[in-house]
Chain A
């Protein structure tokens, strides 16, 4: 299993960073960690994905589910540090227009 998820919550602000690969095997680990926070009202979440080397639709599915849950509770999810590969994945699926994502600075987020 090649994923590391670090989450800390303070005053309804969730900060987190994710390292490794997000695929069918590791996505359940990420989903489980995020689900612990999805019922909170007005949660302000920011997840740093600069340590994610690989992601496919299973990872997108986890982030979309989390985005929907906390949005429904008046919260906000922001994903930061996306490599150009990750940004592309959000863009070609159309999720880049819907979700708040930010490419990694100086990492050629073309």
Chain B
């Protein structure tokens, strides 16, 4: 059995779905027990990645889709955002992404440089894979104060 639950979303590359992706990830993160502040960080980081994918699709004049894959571990969440619309093999893509290099990926977020900066600041680990589109892979660990979870267990 793999050590994580995997949830994948596929949304049209349109800005109105950025909020949908953000709220879904917020819901997933609260299940693992992230603090409220960490969930807010995850909302911003995932919005930035999805926004970038949406804007990339627009600039290419494509009517694409954005694929958002979330791997939920006991103590961390891994989020992958791909702008090329094809469903990916999470483990395979994860193995291919490398560390982010300023020079190589300089064009990645031309206008949205602030967005990538925020992703790097708010997440624990960020990798970018640039081949057949851009894939952003980011990780955040659960730490500190947790949101109340497993209320049934506590009250019983």
Residues of A within 8 A of B (CB): 1-2, 21, 23-25, 54, 56-58, 60-61, 85, 89, 92-93
Contacts and interface: CB of A to CB of B under 8 A. Distances in A.
A92 to B, nearest CB: 5
Contacts of A57: 48, 51, 112, 114-115, 117-118
A21 B18 CA distance: 11
Contact of A56 (B48, B55, B121): B48
Contacts of A60: 114
Given A57-B115, A89-B44, A93-B114, A23 B121 contact: no
Interface in B45-71: 47-48, 51, 54-55
Contact of B118 (A1, A2, A21, A56): A56
A3 to B, nearest CB: 11
A26 to B, nearest CB: 8
Interface string B93-131: 000000000000000000010110110010000000000
B139 interface: no
A55 to B, nearest CB: 8
A23 B51 contact: yes
B56 to A, nearest CB: 12
A58 B118 contact: no
Nearest to A84: B37
A23 B114 contact: no
Nearest to B113: A57
A24 B114 CA distance: 13
Interface string B6-28: 00000000011011001000000
B19 A2 contact: yes
B43 interface: yes
Contacts of B43: 54
A57 B47 CA distance: 9
A2 B117 CA distance: 25
B44 A24 contact: no
A23 B19 CA distance: 8
Contact of B51 (A24, A54, A93): A24
